[in-house]
Amino acid sequence: MALSDNMRGAALMAAGMTTFTINDAFVKTLSDSVPLFQVIFLRGIGVTIGLCLLAYALGQIRFDLTGRDWRLILIRSLAEAGGAALFITALFNMPIANVSAILQVLPLSVALAGALFLKEPLGWRRLSAILIGFVGVLLIVRPGGADFNVFSVSALAAVACVTLRDLVVRRMSRDVPSVMVSLVGSIVVTGVAGILTLFGDWAPLSADMTLPIGFATIALIVGYVCSVAAMRVGEIGFVAPFRYTSLLVALLIGLFVFQEIPRPVTLLGAGIVVATGLFTLWREQRIKLKRRVVPDRIR
């Protein structure tokens, strides 16, 4: 029995989120042996090559973009570089499930930032869901608690950087190729990390270090391919919720690989974040459908 486009898209999104999280796990294994920016730089070389090949295969390498779009791409790329450094800093020092759970707030933070800075409409239902979702984040990081530290702040700062990254994408022209944007971002992230390695230590690589970097690179490339293919195959409203696969995978990896058992309050916070995120995605699709049926309807 043949799968529908939506089911193929969902499978691709789940596969992409799984491989992104596997990449995180391989990177985390290097926390005691390889400096942060060396990891980002070495992984970035392979990812840049992979994205370059993908962009070429899809015919998405273009240099005739407007100056405005190039500026937005640069801002997005710098935000991605900051987000990568902050995220991996948190990943090196926190349970993988906790970091992944905090990152799940992205759909909520992007929706709220879009309303605040881009004047995108935001009804009371989605606003309520966003506020409840942020309560879930507070349960995960627990400010003032024994587990709250600078690395929790680093994970939250990574969310801010990625939120900026996604907001900038919304301002780009529709004809800017998505893989081209990711490729430029990878080049900038790799270049910035390469420069910063000059001001820190460089660890000689053994086979035990090289293999995780190689596997992380492959997983990240596969994640990019699957996530791009997912959005091209299925409907966004059906496919997007499967991004939360990454949290389930992170919980399992944390438990069986790193022997990290999340506290019940962390699981409660993660559940709140996922539930409110799913509601927000569902509500956005309902609103888009209503606009197509009754374009002049005001919420």
CB 161 within 8 A of CB 82: yes
CA 87, 9, 254: angle at the middle one, nearest 5? 35
pLDDT at 234: 75
Residues 6+ positions from 248 with CB-CB distance below 8 Å: none
- Please tell me the pTM assigned to this model: 0.90
pLDDT at 71: 96
pLDDT in tens, 81-98: 999 999 999 999 999 999
Q: Which residues of 135-158 are buried (b: 16+ CB within 10 A; e: fewer)?
A: ebbebbbbeeeeeeeebbebbbbb
* Cα atoms found within 13 Å of the Cα of residue 78, Cβ hemisphere only: 6
CB 159 within 8 A of CB 105: yes
What is the residue whose two structure tokens read 């409840």? 132
From CA 283, how far away is CA 128, in angstroms rounded? 12
Burial label for 274, CB within 10 Å (0-12, 13-18, 19+), is buried
SS3 state of residue 59 = coil
63 C-beta neighbours (distance < 10 Å), count: 6
CB 288 within 8 A of CB 156: no
- What is the block-wise mean pLDDT of the chain (299 residues), using blocks of 10 residues? 78 94 97 95 96 92 94 96 97 95 92 89 89 94 83 96 93 90 95 96 92 96 89 77 93 96 94 93 76 47
